């Protein structure tokens, strides 16, 4: 079989499989249409030149500290990380005020004990070097307090979640159209991937977290049965064991920003992106310098090559 024929049959196979896949997917998704679709947001830290907005990270941390910390930890971070360059950059004094009332499990005391006479865990005041822990003694206690669901650690949540490239909500209604739709989907997937490489799209996690926060309807849509869980449009399966954690005016911002649900959701998503990738600012600014250096070096190498081989006939 010639290369051309092989390629042609490969393309046909892809098209047919894509069609079957799309037809199948059409039955699963699409029930809630646009509402279940995670929109891409514009972030200060997106693109080649993006960087975190310090004020936004501070607000995001305020939301975390006043709301989410009731159930979630960020145990890959220490309090002192919040002072570092490229993050919220709290001062030492600000942070010490923030952790003034925080406690962590104490090391064994002089008698080697970690628990008091009544069986409760001995605690000590938190230091800046302590991790940002969840409020529960262990996973079982966390689950018991949350209807059997474990509130996940939020340190790298922004990297652990994402959104699919293709929305895939509009499947073909007739079987013979499926292969063509399949072909279109492949085309748009490839185009989308190339566009994401070009624009350096890496904010899918933040987009998802923002969407998760704002996708709790006031009332569960008719026909949806979530039991004693909450309904959420973008959470896979729609039934989530976390009730809407924030609403308008959940937090009164220290910097006077208007406390809307939308604002809270953006700020907490930005904070989580920073928690998951604290060195983004440094990475992007170094990356740009490296690219410029490589472009200049390529030009130089070309000039050198021309000079060295100038006398040789070819
Ligand atoms: C009352 C406890 C509670 C509070 C407060 C809370 N959560 Fe949760 N959260 C949970 C539980 C429980 C889950 C697990 C839900 C599940 O798996 O169904 C969860 C899951 C999550 C998830 C993961 C969703 C996924 O895709 O798996 C994220 C992200 C999240 N919470 C963010 C937040 C943020 C941000 C805040 C603060 C604005 C917050 N949570 C406040 C209990 C809470």
Q: Tell me how far the alpha carbon of residue 158 is from its chain's centroid.
A: 2
Same domain, 222 and 295: no
Tell me which residue has its CA closest to atom 3 in ligand 1. 71
Same domain, 34 and 142: yes
Residue 268 near residue 64 (C-beta atoms within 8 A):
yes
Q: Is residue 94 assigned to a domain?
A: no
- CATH number of the domain bearing residue 181: 1.10.760.10
Same domain, 217 and 161: yes
Residue ranges making up the domain that contains 58: 3-73+134-278
pLDDT score, position 19: 47
Same domain, 190 and 222: yes
Same domain, 10 and 157: yes
Same domain, 220 and 260: yes
pTM: 0.84
Tell me which residue has its CA closest to atom 12 in ligand 1. 151
Same domain, 68 and 27: yes
Same domain, 290 and 183: no
Residue 72 near residue 152 (C-beta atoms within 8 A):
yes
Cα–ligand 1 centroid distance for 310 (angstroms): 66
Residue 271 near residue 64 (C-beta atoms within 8 A):
yes
Same domain, 293 and 168: no
Q: Is residue 37 assigned to a domain?
A: yes
pLDDT score, position 13: 62
Q: Is residue 62 assigned to a domain?
A: yes
CA dihedral 35, 192, 173, 170 (to 10 degrees): 10
Nearest to 260 by CA among 218, 221, 219, 213: 213
Residue appearing with tokens 């923030």: 98
Q: Is residue 101 assigned to a domain?
A: no
At residue 215, what are phi and psi to the nearest 5 degrees? -105, 25
Cα–ligand 1 centroid distance for 159 (angstroms): 15
pLDDT score, position 255: 94
Q: Is residue 99 assigned to a domain?
A: no
Tell me which residue has its CA closest to atom 16 in ligand 1. 241
Same domain, 215 and 308: no
Q: Is residue 122 assigned to a domain?
A: no
- Closest ligand 1 atom, residue 68 Cα: 37
Q: Is residue 48 assigned to a domain?
A: yes
Is the C-beta atom of 135 inside 6 A of ligand 1? no
Same domain, 167 and 22: yes
Same domain, 272 and 291: no
Q: Is residue 97 assigned to a domain?
A: no
pLDDT score, position 188: 82
Count up the domains in the chain and report the number.
2
Q: What is the full per-residue pLDDT of the chain (314 aa) written as tens digits? A: 566 776 667 666 655 554 454 444 433 344 788 888 899 999 999 988 899 999 999 999 999 999 999 999 999 999 999 999 999 999 999 999 999 999 999 999 999 999 999 999 999 999 999 999 999 999 999 999 999 999 999 999 999 998 866 544 455 567 787 788 788 878 888 888 888 888 889 999 999 999 999 999 999 998 898 999 999 999 999 999 999 999 999 999 999 999 999 999 999 999 999 999 999 999 999 999 999 999 999 999 999 999 999 988 87
Q: In whole angstroms, what is the distance from residue 266 CA to residue 257 CA?
A: 12
Q: In whole angstroms, what is the distance from residue 46 CA to residue 106 CA?
A: 41
Please choose from 150, 151, 235 the residue to mutate so as to test ligand 1's pocket, defined by most ligand atoms within 8 A of CB.
151
């Amino acid at each position: 079989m010639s290369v051309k024929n092989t390629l042609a049959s490969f393309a046909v196979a892809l098209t047919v499989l894509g069609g079957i896949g799309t037809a199948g997917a059409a039955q699963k998704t699409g029930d809630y249409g646009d509402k279940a679709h995670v929109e891409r947001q514009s972030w200060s830290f997106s693109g080649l030149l993006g960087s975190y907005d310090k004020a936004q990270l501070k607000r995001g941390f305020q939301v975390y500290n006043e709301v989410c910390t009731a159930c979630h930890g960020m145990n890959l971070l220490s309090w002192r990380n919040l002072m570092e360059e490229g993050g919220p950059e709290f001062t030492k004094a600000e942070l010490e005020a923030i952790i003034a009332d925080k406690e962590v499990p104490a090391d064994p005391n002089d008698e080697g004990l970690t628990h008091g006479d009544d069986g409760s865990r001995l605690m000590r005041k938190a230091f800046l070097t302590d991790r940002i822990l969840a409020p529960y003694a262990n996973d079982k206690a966390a689950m018991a307090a949350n209807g059997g669901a474990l509130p996940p650690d939020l340190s790298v949540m922004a990297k652990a979640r994402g959104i699919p490239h293709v929305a895939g909500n509009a499947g073909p209604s007739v079987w013979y159209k499926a292969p063509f739709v399949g072909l279109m989907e492949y085309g748009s997937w490839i185009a989308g991937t190339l566009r994401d490489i070009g624009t350096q799209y890496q904010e899918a996690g933040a987009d998802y977290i923002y969407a998760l926060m704002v996708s709790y309807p006031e009332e569960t849509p008719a026909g949806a049965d979530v039991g004693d869980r909450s309904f959420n449009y973008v959470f896979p399966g729609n039934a989530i064991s976390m009730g809407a954690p924030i609403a308008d005016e959940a937090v009164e911002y220290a910097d006077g920003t208007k406390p809307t649900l939308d604002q809270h959701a953006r700020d907490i998503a930005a904070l989580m992106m920073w928690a998951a990738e604290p060195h983004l600012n440094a990475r992007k600014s170094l990356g740009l310098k490296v690219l410029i250096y490589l472009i200049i070096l390529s030009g130089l190498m070309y000039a050198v090559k021309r000079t060295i081989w100038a006398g040789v006939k070819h």
